[in-house]
Amino acid sequence: MAQAREQLRVRQAACELASQQAAERWQQAQEQRERLNGQLAGLQQQLAQQTQRAEQAQQRWQQALDASEFTDDAAFQAALLDDGQRQQLQQLKEQLQQRQVEARALLAQAEQALEQHRQQRPPQADEEHADLEALAQQQQALTQQLKTLQLRQGELRNQLTSDAERRGNQQALFAQIAQSQRQYDDWSYLNQLIGSKEGDKFRKFAQGLTLDHLVYLANNQLSRLHGRYLLQRKNSDALELLVVDTWQADAQRDTRTLSGGESFLVSLALALALSDLVSHKTSIDSLFLDEGFGTLDAETLDTALDALDSLNASGKTIGVISHVEAMKERIPVQIKVKKVNGLGISRWSRSTASRVKYTPGRRRPGDHYCCGHSQAAPRTPLESPCTALRIGVANSPPNTHSLTFCGTCRYSRSTLLMPPPSTITSGSNRLTACASDFARRCS
């Protein structure tokens, strides 16, 4: 048990360390995520400021361009000419100015002729002239609106081009943010499943796995001890057990409702299951039981002792500490401890139950024979040299044939265990004998 507790303590320490490391990695991922979000917010703010400055510069440039003689940027770029071209343009300017003077003179003559024509037109021509002026104003407004929309279209195209360039430069940052988000989601999901501040959730999760395996092994032992009860974990997160009564339509009840005998069987099954649980690392060849038999009825006591006999037959050493008188008849090798005068001093002695040899078909039922070894030293009736230790045969029921040997001559024979006085069953034969008759025949 100390070894099992030590293993549980090591597992618990490992689980706590794993939980602490998971919490630290989750905290680091959270801090990295917050740091990257801060960087992203800063870059977005810088992008907004630069975009606003670019828009303001573009507006100032457009206002200056509108106020100039150039219709667009291309005209402005084309206006940047060399000296030869400027001289040609200067000459062209002078020619145009001359033509302008001539055109103005012609315009003045045309306006004078127009005025004379207006004075001569009929009255209904005023309405047609008003319609023409309205259409001209509408055309002018639409032309101005078209020009404004074209300018806005150019601005939007420039913004889209600039945004595409910035997005291309930020792809690495976006990929890093996505990777951090995936890591955060993974750690967050792991924290949701098994994370807690003190590591209790993960520890209970790991202990629950071990408890499930222990319950499985204990149910295997219970099926051997008594076919009525099974163990089952509660549906809650608590590491608690329920008892399933298969004789009562699989009714579930708390383990505290078990009787004394039932509690002993369940405790014994759990102890055996715990030994099986650690058997892959450590071989447990001995089992010691301290009390617990006084609360058992006769049938339950027989069931428990039959289970212990089966374990003993499988090669395990079983030690029992008990004050139950009925058990003395079932345990062959005994160490008795007695008080001496009530002074706090105890005296212990070793005793061995008597064994007899029975050969089915050759002797009458009720006859008991030893190996015939009678040449030993003088002995008391209960110290026959035929008293032998029992070597169990695997899977043999209790109180049936088993291999024993004489403590003196090592004579072996298929025999029956008969504690004096006792009742021995071999098939359908029930043989009853007393210690004195046994000692007489062996001597």
369 burial (CB, 10 Å; 0-12 / 13-18 / 19+) is middle
Q: What percent of the chain has pLDDT over 70?
A: 73
Please check whether residues 30 and 175 belong to one and the same domain.
yes
Which among 266, 295, 318 is the end of a domain?
318
Total domains in the chain come to: 3
Is the pLDDT at 147 greater than 90, yes or no?
yes
Give the pLDDT of residue 356.
38
CA 116, chain centre distance (Å): 103
Looking at the structure, tell me whether residues 185 and 222 fall in a common domain: no
Judge if 240 and 288 occupy the same domain. yes
Q: What is the pLDDT of residues 372-427, one digit of tens each?
A: 333 333 333 333 333 333 333 333 334 333 333 333 333 333 333 333 333 333 32
Q: Is the pLDDT of residue 68 over 50?
A: yes
Most confident of 150-154, 349-353, 364-368, 390-394: 150-154
Q: Which residues contact 232 (CB under 8 A, 6 or more apart)?
A: 215, 241, 242, 243, 244, 252
Question: Which whole-number Å values give the CA distances from 18 to 190, 209, 211, 288, in the listed order?
Answer: 12, 16, 20, 36
Question: What CATH number does residue 303 fall under?
Answer: 3.40.50.300
Band of pLDDT at residue 358, cut at 50, 70 and 90 = very low
Distances (CA, A) of 78 to 68, 154, 184: 14, 19, 57
From residue 410, alpha-carbon distances to 262, 371, 413, 415, 427 in Å are: 41, 9, 10, 13, 27
Q: Is the pLDDT of residue 146 over 90?
A: yes
Going by C-beta distance under 8 Å and a sequence separation of 6 or more, which residues neighbour residue 69? Answer: none
Convert the pLDDT of each residue in 247-266 to its tens digit: 888 888 888 888 777 888 88
Residue 60 lies inside a defined structural domain of this protein: yes
Based on the fold, state whether residues 49 and 153 are members of the same structural domain.
yes
Angstrom distance (rounded) from CA 264 to CA 301? 10
Task: Check if the beta carbon of residue 403 is closer than 8 Å to that of residue 411.
Answer: no
- The average pLDDT across 224-245 equals 83
Inside any domain, residue 108:
no
Q: Is residue 273 part of a domain?
A: yes
My answer on whether 182 and 241 are in the same domain is no
Kindly state the average pLDDT of the residues 109-125. 79
Q: What is the pLDDT of residue 150?
A: 93
Query: Do both 361 and 404 map to the same domain?
Result: yes
Kindly report the pTM of this predicted structure: 0.38
- Which of 195, 217, 241 terminates a domain? The answer is 195
Same domain, 287 and 221: yes
- Is there a single domain that holds both residue 418 and residue 280? no
pLDDT tens digits, one per residue of 165-218? 888 888 888 888 999 999 999 988 888 777 766 667 778 878 888 889 999 999
Q: Which domain holds residue 278?
A: 208-318
Q: Is residue 292's pLDDT more than 60?
A: yes
Alpha-carbon distance of 313 to 164, in angstroms, equals: 83
